[in-house]
Structure 1
């Protein structure tokens, strides 16, 4: 059955999901702050800054008016970088209160908040009053927008403590190329989604330095161990990390040129400065900020994360990346099962 859905955030992932939901038969309004972007989507059905080759459905309606986008929506999908999530959520809360509206909130944000180390669902719970939301669902997994746009086979996770609401999102989003599985482990899904970006920067850096498959496999595997350790310390189910929002998202992000985190790491490995990489990327590199948050959080919880610590020193303390790799490889020998 067709539903009315608002999508907040018209970047590559937000706009691609909005277009897919239209093709799934739903009534979708896509919100962006950028009037030029909205005009291009409505008049030319393109979003060239983010998705150069995708022609969007003429049934997709874009707007700069969040109240217009949200009015009557049974589901609100938020696809906003972590840094801007609170501001957008606060604005949404006021609109929902004015409309006496209580939609199901879904988010596809992958990161941790600086200084507070809050996960996206925690931020949303703080900014959107309980009476203004039915529930919060996390949509996460190995899903480059570029691949979904060409209808490549994709599988993701909808995670929610209330499995009935996860089931609802599963049905809304699933089609013959986009398959959604359900999970009740919100903590694990969000930690997996956020921390894999750190490892993706490292994987790109290795390739930029000229390392090969063995090095990448070692990094991904030991990176997954770090992700699991931190997530479990906060109550995540360890099994989540061998699923789509864990190893699945990690593999796709750490091995593909479609990943901006991988591309950022590759450029760092080739000798470019971080400020230069950030300036020329044109989109948010979540892993840069997540590295700082995860490093600080691991120290507070006394969780061993040597790869994250090494990347933190490279990104924030100016350590030479080759020296950081040398230190990782010369640490005290230990068991794999730790």
Structure 2
């Protein structure tokens, strides 16, 4: 494997910094070609980096919390781990950035410092909207790419075309899907279904998105009927949280049923390995996080309630996206100049 340097936000997430550091340590052990630039307060990152090979400190005295207004925090806390991490990618000091911190702040900092690609629109070069993307497990045993998952609540039809192009590039580059199929999230599969906005997106996507399969419904996010599901960030975030909530409800109900009596406890014992595998699959730890597509560098965002395992996998996934040339593949998918 080629050498890669990934910057990781030691202060990202709801858990203490020690959890993030444990994840970084595990990532370094798993990938001997990986160097991690650890961003955070001096008393957190310097002792860790001094005791670990291939770990370098990036001292960031400011911390952006989940309670901070994202845009204001990025503008005022310019020595935060999130801002300095994105600036490290911009300057070439790091090949990618991973944070389990505020999604809004990472999106704002990535847009401001890593910067998005630009496309021609009405005779002018206009920055495209970065798209928050991840792959969710489906009933066919594979993964379905979903974008946008929350970065852009309000978009225009051409933004949806870009999301679709970038999502297809992700499916091809990261998941190895040849000629991925792309669905437009709507309230029915028929072409005439959907809101006025969705109906305005349909013809543009049909013309400009290779593999466009028409409208798809919410159930198709987990059915595996299409490889990529495209929506605006408002709908995408609601759909994602609904899926996560339903999965948690089912796991809680299953656990309650299996601990209610002796018969249930015996069944739980027999099904222990299967239940653990299901919990791991639904938790998201195996994937590590979502990626902001459309930037001139790799920026990944982990779940706030992250674990050491999720930090490890997010850091490794960030490195693999760099090695796989994902940024270049995304640029090519939209036909943009370098």
Flag whether TM exceeds 0.5 (same fold).
no
* Higher relative contact order structure (alpha carbons within 8 Å, sequence separation ≥ 6): 2
Which has more strand, going by share of residues? 2
- Choose between structure 1 and 2: higher helix proportion: 1
Q: TM-score, normalised by structure 1?
A: 0.31
TM-score (norm 2): 0.31
